Amino acid sequence: MNYCFVDYRILPEEEKNLRSLNVVMIKVPRCKNLYPAIDGHPDIQLNILDNNTVLVHKDMSEDFIVEFKKTGLNQVFSDKSLSSKYPEDIILNAVNLKNTFIHNIKFTDKMLLKYIEHKTLINVTQGYTKCSCAVISERAIITSDIKIYKELISKDFDVLLLPPGDIDLPGLNYGFIGGTCGLLSERELVFYGNLKNYKYGELVLSFLNKHQIKPIFLSDTPLVDRGSLMFFSA
């Protein structure tokens, strides 16, 4: 069974189209400790550790935990609480790949570090690392953060660097590419919105084609940052 963590503010059309992909949604609730623009973003509130375990922030609502347990996955809790004050809102917002972990390690939650200590750690200055990175594969990423770009290129990643902007994030000037999408499978990347309505959509489509990734659009709107679509199987 395929599951996906989504922001509680997902639109009905997006819900319908996600369900049509045979995906069971788990809505991440509002976290009162965060500011409104990101208070339901999955990539802020949790991190998928492996095929069996998800790390969630320690103050997660009981209703979510009850729903989550139906998947049969294990959950562990963060060491620290989330807060709207940076950097206490980015403690879980890391790119966690099979063999590589990318984050501002100085601020990574201790419990998260415990579970990824066997991986190659790549330290970056951008605390909103997962928001800033659309993961295409283990060695390919899209970002608009120049420092992440330079660091990953130096580590032999294939990286598409985009200009910032032209991504909706209600409450802020603009959002980030990583918060608009998520890998449903090794060959399918699902988006909130449609790349045809994104200023740099052709660049993204070309990069996806290079890596043999099929884009799937949940609506025909401009791209929207709702926090990463976080898929897993159970």
54-112 tens-digit pLDDT:
999 999 999 999 989 889 889 999 999 999 999 999 999 999 999 999 999 999 999 99
Q: Which residue has the tokens 């043999």?
A: 212
Residue 234: pLDDT over 90: no
What pLDDT shows up at residue 51? 72
Q: What is the CATH number of the domain that holds 44?
A: 3.75.10.10
Element (H, E) at 111: helix 110-116
Name the domain count of the chain: 1
How distant, in Å, are the alpha carbons of 41, 77, 81, 98, 116 from that of 122? 23, 23, 24, 13, 12
DSSP classification of residue 224:
B
Query: Residue 205's closest CA among 215, 220, 218, 197?
Result: 215
Rounded distance between C-alpha atoms, residue 155 and residue 157, angstroms: 6
Model confidence pTM above 0.75: yes
- pLDDT confidence of residue 179: 98
What range does the domain containing 126 cover? 2-233
